[in-house]
A and B are shown apart, each in its own frame.
Chain A
Amino acid sequence: MVTCAAPTRVIVIAGPARSGKTTLVASLYELFHAGPLSGFLFAGSRTLVGFERRCYLSRRASGRDTPETERTSHAAADVLLHLSVRGHDKDGRQDLLFTDIYGEAFRQAADSTDEVEQLTVLTRADHVAILVDGEKLASPAHRQEPYSQADALLASALEVGMLGPTSQVQLLVTKADALGDPNSAHRTFVKAKWTWLDARYRPRLATFEQFEVAARPAANSPLLPGHGLDNVFSLWASCPRPAEAGRRPNPPIDLGPFNRFGRAWDAKGG
């Protein structure tokens, strides 16, 4: 029961198919392989195998020349990934549980309030990160899609109360290397779209911020792998959801269903 053991943050990653949800979380984990991240030390994980499988296609051991992330199947979409970290403060241990809303569910939720009501995890989330695909923003044919989809999801979730005044929401512009230099037309477009969404939703949420990230920038990009992830991680690990009158604390989450090791041991009477 992770949420009983230490303060736990539930992070929901929402985004359309191929927007980089799994790559984002896998890259966060892999950054710890090289050292502390944003002042946080890696303190353990109950889902090391899950992380390793998700990182595998980006490793030389896979035999590939270019990194890839295995797509999350519908069946695996409710899988949680767990990271435990410790800040400089000696008592600053944090458990983080990551879950994503797979592409089709994201699309349906944006289209229908009935569908978004099924996403109960949104009400338990300390942070909801909505991914905006930078590659699409850089494509003239698709540039309107990402912010439009984010807008539709936010509108739908706010309408039925799945998000509200205590919700902390981030827009993450993934694959930011595709946007080019700071003065590019793509970035001007991003700035305009963000200004529009910010004005629309900031008053209705506890916090609403935008970050640019590039987990695995292109070979010719000046950005380093994991670009921007340190800032996002620091926010997730440091800021719990604000207290809300009448809102009950998160009930414990049983790790068994997503911890293969735990399942195997339980089955053997361990």
Chain B
Amino acid sequence: MANSDLSHLMIGLPGTGKTTFLAALWHVLRNSETVPGALQLAGVRGDRRYLNLIEQQWMACLPIERTAVAGQAVAVRVQHPSGGQAIELAIPDMSGEMYEVVQWGQRERVPEYAHLAETAAGALLFLHPDVTIETDPITQVDRALVGILDSPASGVMPEAEKAKPWDPKRTPTQVKLVELLQFFLSHAGPHVQLAVIISAWDSVIEKQATPEKWLSARVPLLHQFLKANDDRIIYSAYGVSAQGGPLKSADGLRSHTAAVSRIRVAGPEGESNDITAPIRWLMASGRTKA
């Protein structure tokens, strides 16, 4: 890797929009003249079939093909619109299963991942509001209801309670993500840049919410972890709707003349359809790896 190269990992559980993000990013890079301020494509190293395939699926508003567990190597040369030297941006598309099943569930180290983490300048961390498992304790209200339903007057006698076996997959999302970040930090350099991507931002009901407020309200454990480790992690939160809406509204999405106008990005710089904004932020604040 040359001095002007940057590598960024995409970290996220299955179905959190990593590949959809990549598809839209590739499309914008190829059409950057239509998005003010967007990064520009200066070249691609190696095979671009994968990028073209997922771009076609994205443009047609079809479900994006799931990434194989082994992941896909993606490396593009990009240039800031204001000019300057082009840099190679490597964003390996690692599968969500690699993170959830192999890292969290089986607690195994994937050598390829470890190497990428060691050389990464930063990462994009993906969350999806609709595939977030909340911490869901049995509340006092639940117990009070059980007391009523199981009271002798109800005619229902309580039974000895049995529990389903513990399943690591059902762990709250924020716990899994903290652990994935701890794994990443254990390999990465002393300081990392992290763009936190909240996918399907159009589905966030709290319309007044900013991505930062959403993190604080919905995944407080992760939010605390990011703030408490500011000596190692510099992060910025983005709400990204790479598709522009749910696929069940595909007809409406396809009606856009320019597909880039479907994209919505909310970040510290405001709202736009520039999906390269998180990458620009990573590049601006990132360190260059030798």
Contact = CB atoms under 8 A, between A and B. Distances in A.
Nearest to A259: B107
B179 interface: yes
Contacts of A30: 135, 137
Contacts of B166: 52-53, 56, 62
Contact of B163 (A36, A41, A64, A220): A64
A225 B140 contact: yes
Interface in B107-143: 107-109, 114, 133, 135-143
B207 interface: no
Contacts of A59: 135-138
Contacts, number: 122
A217 interface: yes
B144 interface: yes
B114 A270 contact: yes
Contacts of B34: none
Interface string B194-233: 0000000000000000000000000011001101110000
Interface in A50-73: 52-53, 55-68
Nearest to A57: B163
A36 B179 CA distance: 18
Sort chain A's interface into a size bin: 35 or more
B42 interface: no
A59 B164 CA distance: 11
Contacts of B49: none
A53 B163 CA distance: 12
B221 A58 contact: no
A64 B227 CA distance: 34
A34 B135 contact: yes
Interface string A127-170: 00000000000000000000000000000000000000000000
Contacts of B179: 48, 261
A172 to B, nearest CB: 21
Given A33-B220, A260-B107, A44 B229 contact: yes
B227 A41 contact: yes
B146 A33 contact: no
A84 B171 CA distance: 20
A253 interface: no
B147 interface: yes
Contact of B137 (A35, A48, A67, A221): A67
B246 interface: no
B187 to A, nearest CB: 9
Contacts of B146: 65-66, 219
Contacts of B135: 30, 33-34, 59
Contacts of A61: 133, 136, 164, 167, 170
Contacts of A44: 178, 182, 225, 228-229
Interface of A: 30, 32-36, 41-46, 48-49, 52-53, 55-68, 84-86, 93, 217-221, 225, 260-261, 264-265, 268, 270
Interface of B: 106-109, 114, 133, 135-144, 146-147, 161-164, 166-168, 170-172, 174-175, 178-179, 182, 220-221, 224-225, 227-229
Return the 9 tightest CB-CB contacts between A and B, nearest first. A43-B228, A219-B143, A86-B228, A219-B144, A41-B228, A33-B135, A270-B109, A41-B224, A42-B224
